[in-house]
Amino acid sequence: MKVLYKRVFAYASLQFCGHIEAYFVAHTAELAVFIVQPRMGPHQHVLRHYRNGQLIEDKPVRSSQNLFVYYLLWYANHVRVLLSFCRRDEVTIVFSGHPVVLMGMGLFRRLRALRYAYWIGDYFPASHPLIRLYEGVKAWYHNRVDAAFYLTDAINRVMNGGIVDTPSRKTVMWGVKPYPAAPPPPLDPFTLLFVGLLRPGQGLEELFSFLGRHGNYHLKLIGTGQPAYLERLQAMLEKLGVGGQVFFPSHFYTETELLDVAATCHVGMALYDTAAGNFTHYADPGKVKAYAEMHLPVIMTRISDIIPFIERFGSGEVIDRLDQLGDALERIRGDVARYQVGINRFNDCFEYDRYYRHAFKVFEECWP
């Protein structure tokens, strides 16, 4: 391993791509990683401690499904780890994407040698008072941290009134780490893949209708959601008579299981509602990067800052309306090899180790 950083306290998640944990493991002498799990459903957080790239501790951290207790336990454990892991005589980079981690920043800077880095991965344009309060808290901490990174230019623009690009204030998107390529599956049936949380506004109903008109297309739908919405999707499949074209296990898959499914598919689907209030306008959707890692071209509605990269590299098709879906699929089906070249170029651009080393150069150059 090439050590670039002496001591890092980073946050990660098992729910999105980006490979932040892997990146810091490969380049940090002493690393603590706090993995935060979603509140809904039985769960525990995880604390991992690495030394020179070797895992020396991996233990569960207590949590709760109760909203108040969830955040109380999270913060209490954060403080415990911060005070035990970080030191007075050696700078620790505290790297997180949630304002909970920044609470008490001024006090803890007096107790430990800390440099706070805030990677902002979302922005919610809603006018609801709680959303406005949350965005206000984010902005307050953003203006006080040592470094701030933005998952998209759209977030960068909101936080700064324009796009800022300095060593300690810049846009940093998700990195990728492609899996080994599998042999291409036969083109008939031409199989689509959707991975992620199932909720309204993702074009699934329109996709089902498309399948009803095109029997030579199949869909593998990997994910889960609210029971009422899942029942609605099942009812629509039955009404349209396309149940035989759709594989719908209604639960999340492990990485190995998902790769096995992806090896039988041809295209990844990312059909978002493009209404102005959709927060995906400000996102770098994880599923798009995941499809690229699995060597699948993507069909995506025009909504995110990842769109110019898809178009530049030719790693998929971007559509402005859902009625353009059929033509986009036919273009990919007619020249699969060209899109594979585009995916390779896309993955090379966002290869996580090289991409993050450049993006986070400030951690090497500006902070002793």
Tokens linked to 312: 């530049």
Using the 8-state DSSP alphabet, how is residue 247 labeled? E
Distance CA 144, CA 114 (A): 13
Where does residue 166 rank: exposed (0-12), middle (13-18), buried (19+ CB within 10 A)? exposed
Tokens linked to 344: 């390779």
What is residue 43's predicted lDDT score, i.e. its pLDDT?
A: 87
Name residue 269's amino acid.
M
- DSSP code string of 75-90: HHHHHHHHHHHS-SSS
What is residue 15's predicted lDDT score, i.e. its pLDDT?
A: 66
Q: Tokens 């966002």 correspond to what residue?
A: 350
pLDDT exceeds cutoff 80 at 10: yes
pLDDT exceeds cutoff 70 at 366: no
| Contact between 290 and 272 (Cβ < 8 Å) | no
Distance CA 102, CA 95 (A): 10
What is residue 16's predicted lDDT score, i.e. its pLDDT?
A: 62
Tokens linked to 206: 């329109």
> Any idea which fold 190-349 has?
Rossmann fold (3.40.50)
Tokens linked to 130: 């709680």
Distance CA 175, CA 295 (A): 15
- For the chain, give the mean pLDDT: 93
Q: In this predicted model, what pLDDT tens digit does every residue of 173-198 receive, in sequence order?
A: 999 999 998 888 999 999 999 998 88
Report strand pairing: 54-61 vs 45-51. Answer: antiparallel
Domain edges within the chain = 5-175+352-365, 190-349
CATH classification (class only), 5-175+352-365: alpha beta
Tokens linked to 135: 């965005």
Distance CA 31, CA 10 (A): 7
Question: Nearest-CA neighbor of 283 among 172, 155, 133?
Answer: 155
Mean pLDDT along residues 119-146: 93
Question: Nearest-CA neighbor of 78 among 99, 50, 55, 58?
Answer: 99
pLDDT exceeds cutoff 90 at 352: yes
User: CA Rg, the chain, in Å?
Assistant: 22
User: CA distances (Å), 251 to each of 220, 267, 288, in order?
Assistant: 12, 20, 19
As a residue count, the chain comes to 368
Tokens linked to 315: 């790693």
Distance CA 215, CA 172 (A): 41
Mean pLDDT along residues 303-309: 96
User: CA distances (Å), 234 to each of 157, 205, 258, 276, 336, in order?
Assistant: 40, 11, 21, 29, 31
| Contact between 114 and 92 (Cβ < 8 Å) | yes
Least confident of 16-20, 47-51, 164-168, 187-191: 16-20
Distance CA 356, CA 308 (A): 20
| Contact between 2 and 27 (Cβ < 8 Å) | yes
Q: In this predicted model, what pLDDT tens digit does every residue of 193-252 receive, in sequence order?
A: 999 888 888 889 999 999 999 999 999 999 888 889 999 999 999 999 999 999 999 888
Q: In this predicted model, what pLDDT tens digit does every residue of 262-305 receive, in sequence order?
A: 999 999 999 998 888 888 999 999 999 999 999 999 999 999 99
Name residue 202's amino acid.
Q
Which residues on adjacent β-strands are paired with residue 247?
A: 220
| Residues 6 or more apart whose Cβ sits within 8 Å of residue 160 | 169
Q: In this predicted model, what pLDDT tens digit does every residue of 44-95 receive, in sequence order?
A: 999 999 999 999 999 999 999 999 999 999 999 999 999 999 999 999 999 9
* 3 state DSSP class of 314: coil
What is residue 191's predicted lDDT score, i.e. its pLDDT?
A: 97
